Structure 1
Amino acid sequence: MFNAQYFRTYITLVETGSFTRTARRLDMTQPGVSQHIRKLEVYLGKSLLQRQGRSFTLTDAGRRAYDYALKLFAEHEQFRHGLDDDSLDSGECRIASPGSVGIMFYPYILGQQQMQPNLTVNYSFAFNHEIANDLLNGRYDVGIVTEAIKHPELKCSVWHHEPLCLVVPADFTGSTLSELMGLGFINYYDGINHATTLLKINYPEEFRSMSYFRHQGFTNQVSMVLDAVARGLGFTVVSRLVLETSPWQRQVKELKLTSSVDEVLYLLQRDGATLPKRYEKLLSGFRNQRTQERPPSIPVTV
């Protein structure tokens, strides 16, 4: 007979790697854990573990059972929390975004949770393609991505615009493209695309490609890229969200340009799914706050 608790025990065992730790986490006895695993193996008709003394490895069937169990419980949670879709201030939200968005959106969400104790938010930082895959697998209900994603099972719509900022060391006195080329470029996940878009529109006669720039390094953590700029290693182009939350604000400055360019943020969700109202309150509240706020001046140390 199907028993969801057996699968829950099995997930915990795989994640902890120990019968003892599983029993402690689930408030069970160790023999009780072993009994759940044996009954699950009988139910599936397959051995899930290859035991080696007190340790174990997963069989091929065991790995497949673990993947299935994760998907099973993700779909269950999505169904359970989707039933309570009328409350604005209670229930669970499952959201993912790249770090460039989350560094300001997540603190906003935490503030909302402080005011609404019955609101629970599980927030993940991930790359665009990871968010799309996890939405399809039921791990999130909403993703915010920095590029449009086309998939027959996903709905992608424009959510918000954030200005792009060309950020240089605080003591940089240049303004021409050649001076920027001499300074060098600090890259990150979206760096090349953002820089190309912004520089192309502001230096239309001179700019050709980012391949002509001296590349001074790369980091996959956008929150850290301004550390390199602050040290005088080069310039970069980031969303204002990143600049406003950077601990290196006093060591960098935004180079003022003639034409502004916005980064477009997209809302990603499963096609045909209706989001509970609590999602709309969070998403529209943050977007309205960002739209109404005037960007603060960035202090500079000369």
Structure 2
Amino acid sequence: MFNAHYFRTFITLVETGSFTRTAQRLEMTQPGVSQHVRKLEDYLNKELLERKGRSFTLTESGRRAYDYALKLFAEHEQFRHGLDDDSLDSGDCRIASPGSVGLMFYPYILGQQQMHPNLTVNYSFAFNHEIVNDLLEGRYDIGIVTEAMRHPELSCSIWHEEPLCLVVPADFAGSTLSDLMGIGFLNYYDGINHANALLRANYPDEFRSMTHFRHQGFTNEVSMVLDAVARGLGFTVVSRLVLETSPWQRQVKALNLPNAVNEVLYLLRRRDSVLPKRYEKLLDGFHAQRLQEKTPLVPSS
């Protein structure tokens, strides 16, 4: 029969290298330690130790049993902490968002995991409609989407806002709508919606529709669209989150525009769910960090 106490005794024995010290640490008798090891060997049907008087060495089976036991107890602790809904810094989190959000939110989460080893996060980069399906089917607990979603089983609320940036090649010398039309538009998922909103707010007398622009291409990876801009293939409109994390920041620039337009990010969750407090800490922590940061945009010449 499986007995976790036998594995715990075996781990301690390997770590101390002594039956006597193991007995002292576990407040057992030395014969009790020996009995636990024999019972574990009987359970596994393998010899775990090569005994040499009062000393011992591990057999190959013993080394494998020790590695397994360490993993077993680590997973047990992770599971135990995951059941604590009141814990802010431990347990499992399951989150999904588009790539434009995940470019900064996911690295923030990784930083939290480094500080709190018992915190585990499964993060999916997905499109809005995929996130809705994942939430309904229980694969994730929360989703962050770039448009408001209406569904009887889901709750949707505003979580965060990020400014949109009109991004052009670094050597682009224009500023008018005609200049932008001359180089063409680079699209991605949500690209047209973002461009419509930002251009309409800043060129109200001239802008009519994105259908009037020459489309230079499309990518479903928003993080890659600035590569095309950097190569001089056109302009695009992206969230500041995307621009700040782009490796092509020095090859592009954001035009200075008089009227700011924000991308609104929405938090999705199942209506019947009660989320552990660790989700609130992650969401509020990232939101507060973004409000405090004042990283300058790439300046327009």
The letter of the residue matching 1:204 is P
Matches within 5 A, 1:184-199: 184-199=184-199
Change (3 A) 1:82 1:155: farther
- Contact 1:249/1:299, CA 8 A, preserved across alignment: no
1:29-44 matches, cutoff 5 A: none
The answer for the alignment partner of 2:129 in structure 1 is 129
Asked whether 1:289 is paired with 2:286, we answer no
Deviations 1:137-176 (A, max 9, x none): 0000000000000000000000000000000000001000
Structure 2, unaligned runs of 5 or more: 1-79
Q: Deviations over 1:247-276 (max 9, x none)?
A: 000100000101000000000000031110
* Cα distance in 1 between the residues matched to 2:295 and 2:85: 34
Aligned to 1:102: 102
**SS where residue 107 of structure 1 aligns?**
helix
Partner of 2:141: 141
Which protein shows a greater Rg? 2
Rate the CA distance shift 1:197–1:299 in 2: closer, same or farther, 3 A.
Answer: closer
1:18-97 alignment, distance < 5 Å: 83-97=83-97
Residue 8 of structure 2 aligns with which residue?
A: none
- Aligned counterparts, 1:153-172, within 5 A: 153-172=153-172
Q: CA RMSD in A?
A: 1.6
Deviation at 1:83, TM superposition (A): 4.3
CA distance in 1, matches of 2:101, 2:297: 20
Q: Judge conservation of contact 1:250–1:299 (CA < 8 Å) in 2.
A: no
1:257 aligned residue: 257
SS at match of 1:166: strand
| Offset at residue 82 of structure 1 (A) | 7.5
2:189–2:222 CA contact under 8 A, matched in 1: yes
**One-letter code aligned to 2:141:** D
| Match status 1:182 vs 2:178 | no
What CA distance in whole angstroms lies between the structure 1 residues aligned with 2:115 and 2:299? Answer: 31
Which amino acid is the alignment partner of residue 225 of structure 1? V
Cα deviation 1:89-114 (Å, max 9, x = unaligned): 00000000000000110000000000
Q: Report SS of the residue matched to 1:133.
A: helix
Partner residue, 2:115: 115
**In structure 2, how many angstroms separate the alpha carbons of the residues matched to 1:197 and 1:139?**
33
